Chain A
Amino acid sequence: MVKLTGIYKGMRKGYGETLIELGKKYENVVVLDADLSGSTQTAMFAKEFPERFFNAGVAEQNMIGMAAGLATTGKIVFASSFSMFASGRAWEIIRNLVAYPKLNVKVVATHAGITVGEDGASHQMCEDIAIMRVIPNMVVIAPTDYYHTKNVIRTIAEYKGPVYVRMPRRDTEIIYENEEEATFEIGKGKILNDGDDLTIIATGEEVPEALRAAIILKENGISAEIVEMATIKPIDEKIIEKSKDFIVTVEDHSIIGGLGGAVAEVIASKGLNKKLLRIGINDVFGRSGKADELLKYYGLDGESIAKKIIEIY
């Protein structure tokens, strides 16, 4: 079972550590970065395998172009930067050079979402799930915590094809007891907590917040089922179909085009008779502040989520 542990650890740390493990396991793993290797944690791999690490400098477009070229020579390629630049700046290259030819490139982006914090709106990428999700052949994943990230990275290394992974900057709360508990399968959602009245579907760093919200809801007599939706594309349609009749999506991303958008599409296209509340960034640009302050300001902390649900329920 999962629980809020009060222990915070960076998903990107999990990423960096797993890259080293993969580097040892596979000779053909190569890693690229765009001058942010200290932040994305790819520097760990660079130190261990300098001959297989390529810094593109502040040039995300060429980083992805090089990644594509390397993939054509049979490499498993990880390319990292902040989500704003990895997905935004390099979008068209990802579309045309990576996704179109289905090359084995994993774009692993950190510093996603509003919780980037102090750097402000220019760096707060709340649109990456949307713009990556519309690209054919692309898999889009947001891991849940440090342990979960490790399994996500291991899994995508085995998967042949383009993948986009988004992770936050801040250390996030660990909800799994250990790596073994933090299972991951591409395209499969996971029920973390059973509940009778409604289903909260959360992704990424919002999963612990959803768990926090569920505790408050319980105190208020509302029993919430919690679904971890780590893969936003391909989305687990079955788990949405089986959800309660009131679904709440929670994400540190725009309510347009992200998890909420994806769930809305399933509800509409399957003709499901379900009510949907999308909690996320409401089509606005962010602002500077501390991550915790911003979560509250934009209504993405557990308390705010619970409050909003109680209002509507």
Chain B
Amino acid sequence: MVNKVNKDEIEKLKKIAKRVRYKIVKMVGLAKSGHPGGSLSATDIIVALYFKIMNYDPKNPYKKDRDRFVLSKGHAAPALYAVLSELGIIEEEELWKLRRLEGKLQGHPSMDTPGVEICTGSLGQGFSASVGMALGCRLDKLNNYIYVLLGDGECQEGIVWEAAMAASHYKLDNLIAFVDRNKLQIDGNTEDVMSLGDLKAKFEAFGWDVFEIDGHNFEEIINTVEKAKSLKNGKPKMIIAYTVKGKGVSFMEHNVGFHGKAPNEEQLKKALEELSE
């Protein structure tokens, strides 16, 4: 591995991730609607990106040469909002008004929210837009990276494969994508609903460099991105991150029921206890 991450840093990231998970569950619990399962599975990847990997100045979130993060699986918005609040871009108070008329934070990310790079929520579209961002940044001769996170169920959308084809056609090695491979979608197991099969082979066939990692292991996430960045071979990079839906809350883990359902009061209390520092 290229870059050994020290233990203190990992511990720091773990702490942030725990706070982010706490916020996710509280946010969704207070909103009484939303998608906790896929927010929790994606948390460690998003935390690693913003707090270790990306060249991103929270005090100047629209700096031209910033690294960009696109949450293509827009229903994991609570994870993004929680991270943006940790960075001080979103006020924490706003989190508790998620999905409410009096609040600013929409159920799915909107560009009206500072720090959100593109509107997502309709699946596959963020991935497609990230290809355009990578093209635009390259045209401007920036040396930045575009990071994009897809859900695994999202990979059933046709536009994902249109975009995958375009990214490799245009040799976008400034594009680094993740699939949050938690293997569950609303209707059940991805392989029962519409099998994704060998996702690695599929993306490789589309001309991508593909890596497979444990999406909850910070060291692996960070080192794999480093490796992906070091391969300046004109191929876009795909990191298939094996994750656990509902990660961090015992009764939400591997539970498809919490894809798009908020915890009730009792569940919320229990979940917050588990996630308390």
Contact = CB atoms under 8 A, between A and B. Distances in A.
Contact of B159 (A30, A51, A65): A65
Interface string B166-184: 1001100000000000000
A61 B159 contact: yes
Nearest to A62: B162
A10 B263 CA distance: 60
B128 A100 contact: no
Interface string A52-76: 1010110101101111111111110
B165 A70 contact: no
A56 B162 contact: yes
Contact of A66 (B110, B111, B122, B132): B132
Interface in A66-119: 66-75, 92-93, 96-97, 100-101
B133 A70 contact: yes
A273 to B, nearest CB: 40
Interface stretch (B38-46, B136-144, B192-200, B254-262): B136-144
A68 B118 contact: yes
A31 to B, nearest CB: 12
Given A65-B159, A70-B132, A100 B117 contact: no
Nearest to A90: B159
A30 B139 CA distance: 10
A62 B163 contact: yes
B54 interface: no
Contacts of A54: 135, 170
Contacts of B118: 68-69, 72, 97, 101
Interface string B211-238: 0000000000000000000000000000
A70 B163 contact: no
Interface residues of A, number: 27
Contacts of A57: 162, 165-166, 169
Nearest to A101: B111
B170 to A, nearest CB: 7
A70 B139 CA distance: 10
B28 interface: no
Contact of A73 (B121, B124, B140, B166): B140
Contact of B136 (A56, A61, A72, A101): A72
A75 B140 CA distance: 10
Nearest to B163: A62
Given A70-B133, A73-B139, A62 B166 contact: yes
Interface in B91-113: 110-111
B118 to A, nearest CB: 6
Contacts of B165: 57, 59, 62
A178 B197 CA distance: 60
B131 A62 contact: yes
Given A67-B132, A97-B128, 8 more contacts: A61-B128, A62-B162, A65-B127, A65-B159, A69-B132, A69-B134, A97-B125, A100-B119
